[in-house]
Each structure stands twice: as C-alpha cells, then as structure tokens.
Structure 1
Amino acid sequence: MISELVSFALPAGMSREEVIAGMREVAPNWRRNPDLIRKTFLYDPEAGQTGALYLWPNREAAERAHDQAWRERIRAKYGSEPTIRYFETPLVVDNALGAIIDA
C-alpha cells in the first residue's frame, strides 16, 4: 500500500466554512474511485493550507487520480501548486473499523 500526502496553499481570506464546503463538494467523487482505500481531509488554518492523506493499493493508482487534469483544477480553483509525497505503508491500524490492514 501507498500513503500519499497532498497539500496546497489556500487563497488569502478563504474561510474555514468555504474550505469545508469544498471538501464536502468533492467527497462523493472520491467515494466513487474504486482504487481509493481511504482519504482523510486536512486543513491548517494557521498555515493557510489544505490537503489530504490518501491510502492507495499502489503508487500507480495514486498517480492516476492526481494526474495533470487534477493539478490544473487545483491551480484554477486555489491558485496554488499541489505538493505530493508518497510513503510506503506496510500496516494500518484502524480502530474505527476494529481492523489491522496489512499490505
């Protein structure tokens, strides 16, 4: 499995409510992605950044989801360039599901 950490700067003055509304707007699209195992939305008001932590079966799935068209949408909507980091994820403890997910 691969964890993908995505972050990008928000436009100056964007409120918490606007950020969360944007998250709610795109959540159903991510729910329909058959490769996505989990997505955790992130928001840092002090740094003026948002993003997400994704869990994918492999890096190829992550790269398909965050292709050039996706990057262009982020630039158009938020005026910033997303930063992406990948991490090998050998094990996940999920207390909400009561499970340990082993790659």
Structure 2
Amino acid sequence: MIIAITAFSLPKPITHAEARAIFLSTAPTYQDVPGLLQKHYVLSEDGGTAGGVYVWASRAQAESMYTDAWRAFVRGKYGTEPSVTYFDSPVMVDNVAQKVFTY
C-alpha cells in the first residue's frame, strides 16, 4: 500500500468553513479513481497550508494521478504549486474493523 501526501501553501489563509466548501467542490473528482482507496483532505491549524493524504493500492496508480494536468488543476484552484511525497505503508491498524493489515 502506498500513502501519498500532497501539500501546498495557500496565498492567504482560509477558514475551516472555507476549506470544507472548497474540498467538497473537488471531492467528486476523486470518486471511482482506480487504485485510490481513501483520500483525506487536510488543512493546517493556521489555515495557511492545505493538501491531502491519499491511500493507494499501488505506486503506479498513485503516480498516474499526479500528472501535469493535476498540478495545473491545483494551481488554478488554489493559486500555488503542490508537492507530493510517497510513503510505503507495510502495516495498517484499522480500529473500526478491529484488525491489523499487512501489505
């Protein structure tokens, strides 16, 4: 399993309510994306940085998301350049399912 964390500094801080509205407007874009298991939108406490934590089935599927077109979308929506960092996730604790998964 691959975790991708995206982040970008916002031109000006936004509130939780503003972030929620913006994030809801883009959420449908991420539904039914092959290999994307979960996406968590994130906003720093000061509202100056936003991004996402993505859980992917594979690195190849993750890399297929973060294209030049995706970067242009982020620049157009938020006015800033995103960063993407990948992590291998060999073990996951799921407290809802009460299980530990290995990959």
State the TM-score bracket (shorter-chain normalisation): 0.7 to 0.9
Render the CA deviation track for 1:11-31: whole Å, top value 9, x for unaligned.
315332121111112222222
1:35-46 aligned at under 5 Å gives the runs 35-46=35-46
Are 2:13 and 2:49, in contact at CA under 8 Å, matched by a contact in 1?
no
Alpha-carbon RMSD: 1.6
Give unpaired runs (5+ residues) of structure 1: none
TM-score for the superposition, normalised by structure 1: 0.88
1: CA distance, partners of 2:30 / 2:102: 22
Residue in 1 that maps onto 2:98: 98
1: CA distance, partners of 2:99 / 2:45: 32
The letter of the residue matching 2:89 is T
Indicate whether 1:26 and 2:23 are aligned: no
The letter of the residue matching 1:72 is A
1:55-70 aligned at under 5 Å gives the runs 55-70=55-70
1: CA distance, partners of 2:98 / 2:10: 35
Are 2:7 and 2:50, in contact at CA under 8 Å, matched by a contact in 1?
yes
TM-score for the superposition, normalised by structure 2: 0.88
Render the CA deviation track for 1:5-50: whole Å, top value 9, x for unaligned.
1101123153321211111122222222131112122110426001
**Identity across the alignment (%):** 33
Give unpaired runs (5+ residues) of structure 2: none
Residue in 2 that maps onto 1:2: 2
Aligned residues: 103
Deviation at 1:77, TM superposition (A): 1.4
